[in-house]
């Protein structure tokens, strides 16, 4: 059975991903408002959604989790640390059904198996997820400043991976973008637009690099280690200041070379949400 993956939103403004087949589906993270309505507007069958999986308790991943879980009456999956922190932060209702996920131990929900795996990020107990329906396997790995060999092992066995590609190292270092062929505005030449939108203070840059997010370069290095096993890669959680979709794409394409890997890029600009929406089937 085909599995569909839809990146409803991706980036520091909000994250939410739908993964499912003809009978069962899950939503990973609820970082945008009007989530149920967004699913409906995209003709995604909400009655198939069996669970909300939460990667970690940061606002851009749990903003509407409480409302979504209450309206949908579905259980919440996540590591013990993520669930505790989300409840304490008021992002999940106390009386929801919680399923605590241990590292790499699968849980069955309808047709799907849900497997959480630890990621490396400045949250209580962050994780990624692999969703598998027996025919297809989709991995989601957001908000991690590094990909360990344990993470790589689970991700490289997926048919498709949603992988963070947060910032361009050179832009983070120099506050200007390296030469590239097209800029953020799809097709416009970047020569006049080389500077980042908003400069971050040094402590924030250090936080992003050391305990926060995955650079384009490190993301590409991970993709190289997939060895062409993963047929589809969707680049996600791009920084609006220190990245551009074409830079992320260029670096991913260089990494995948002739492997035939299909690269998608999910940008967060809300005004472009429809245009940038990434939707694929495996």
Among the residue ranges 36-44, 141-149, 171-179, 185-193, the one whose residues contact Zn ion (CB under 5 A): 141-149
Q: Output 58 or 137, the one with its CB closest to Zn ion.
A: 58
Among the residue ranges 36-44, 45-53, 60-68, 102-110, the one whose residues contact Zn ion (CB under 5 A): 60-68
- Assess 125 for contact with Zn ion (CB under 5 A): no
Q: Which of 60, 125, 132, 133 binds Zn ion (CB under 5 A)?
A: 60
Q: How many residues bind Zn ion (CB under 5 A)?
A: 3
3-state SS track over the chain: CCCEEEEEECCCCCCEEEEECCCCEEEECCCCCCHHHHHHHCCCCHHHEEEEECCCCCHHHHCCHHHHHHHHCCCEEECHHHHHHHHHCCCCCCCCCEEECCCCCEEEECCEEEEEEECCCCCCCCEEEEEECCCCEEEEECCCCCCCHHHHHHHCCCCEEEEECCECHHHHHHCECCCCCCCCCCCCCHHHHCECCCCCCHHHHHHHHHHHCCEHHHHHHHHHHCCCCCCEEEEECCCCCCCCHHHHHHHHHHHHCCCCCEEEECCCCHHHHHHHCEEEEC
By DSSP bridging, strand 4-9 and strand 112-118 are unpaired
Closest distance of CB 265 from Zn ion, Å: 17
Q: Output 16 or 223, the one with its CB closest to Zn ion.
A: 16
Q: Output 190 or 238, the one with its CB closest to Zn ion.
A: 238
Q: Which of 58, 63, 209, 273 binds Zn ion (CB under 5 A)?
A: 58
Closest distance of CB 10 from Zn ion, Å: 9
- 6 has which bridge partners? 18, 279
Q: Output 125 or 143, the one with its CB closest to Zn ion.
A: 143
Among the residue ranges 58-66, 158-166, 197-205, 270-278, the one whose residues contact Zn ion (CB under 5 A): 58-66
Q: Output 143 or 250, the one with its CB closest to Zn ion.
A: 143
Report which residue's Cβ sits closest to Zn ion: 58
The mark string for 11-40 relative to Zn ion (x by CB under 5 A, - otherwise) is ------------------------------
Closest distance of CB 134 from Zn ion, Å: 30
Q: Are the C-beta atoms of residues 212 and 142 closer than 8 Å to each other?
A: no
Among the residue ranges 56-64, 112-120, 242-250, 255-263, the one whose residues contact Zn ion (CB under 5 A): 56-64
Q: Are the C-beta atoms of residues 114 and 26 closer than 8 Å to each other?
A: yes
Q: Output 84 or 159, the one with its CB closest to Zn ion.
A: 84
The residues that touch Zn ion, with contacts defined as CB under 5 A, are 58, 60, 143
């Amino acid at each position: 059975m085909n599995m569909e993956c839809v990146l409803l939103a991706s980036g520091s403004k909000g994250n939410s991903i739908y993964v499912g087949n003809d009978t069962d589906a899950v939503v990973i993270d609820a970082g945008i408002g009007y989530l149920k309505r967004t699913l409906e507007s995209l003709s995604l069958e909400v009655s198939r959604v069996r669970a909300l999986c939460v990667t970690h308790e940061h606002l851009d991943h749990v903003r509407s989790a409480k409302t979504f879980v209450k309206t949908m009456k579905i259980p919440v999956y996540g590591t013990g640390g993520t669930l505790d922190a989300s409840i304490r932060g008021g992002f999940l209702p106390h009386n929801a059904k919680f399923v605590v996920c241990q590292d790499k131990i699968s849980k069955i929900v309808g047709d799907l198996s849900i497997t959480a795996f630890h990621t490396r990020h400045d949250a209580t107990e962050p994780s990624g997820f692999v969703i598998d329906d027996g025919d297809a396997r989709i991995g989601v790995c957001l908000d991690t400043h590094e990909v360990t060999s344990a993470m790589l092992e689970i991700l490289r066995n997926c048919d498709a991976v949603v992988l963070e590609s947060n910032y361009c190292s050179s832009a983070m270092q120099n506050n200007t973008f390296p030469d590239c062929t097209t800029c953020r505005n799809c097709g416009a030449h970047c020569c006049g637009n080389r500077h980042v939108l908003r400069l971050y203070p040094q402590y924030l840059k250090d936080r992003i690099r050391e305990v926060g997010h995955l650079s384009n370069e490190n993301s590409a290095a991970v993709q190289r280690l997939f060895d062409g096993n993963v047929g589809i890669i969707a680049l996600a959680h791009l920084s609006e200041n220190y990245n551009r979709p074409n830079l992320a794409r260029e670096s991913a394409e260089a990494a995948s070379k002739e492997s035939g890997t299909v690269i998608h890029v999910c940008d967060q600009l809300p005004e472009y949400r429809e245009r940038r929406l990434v939707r694929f089937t495996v």
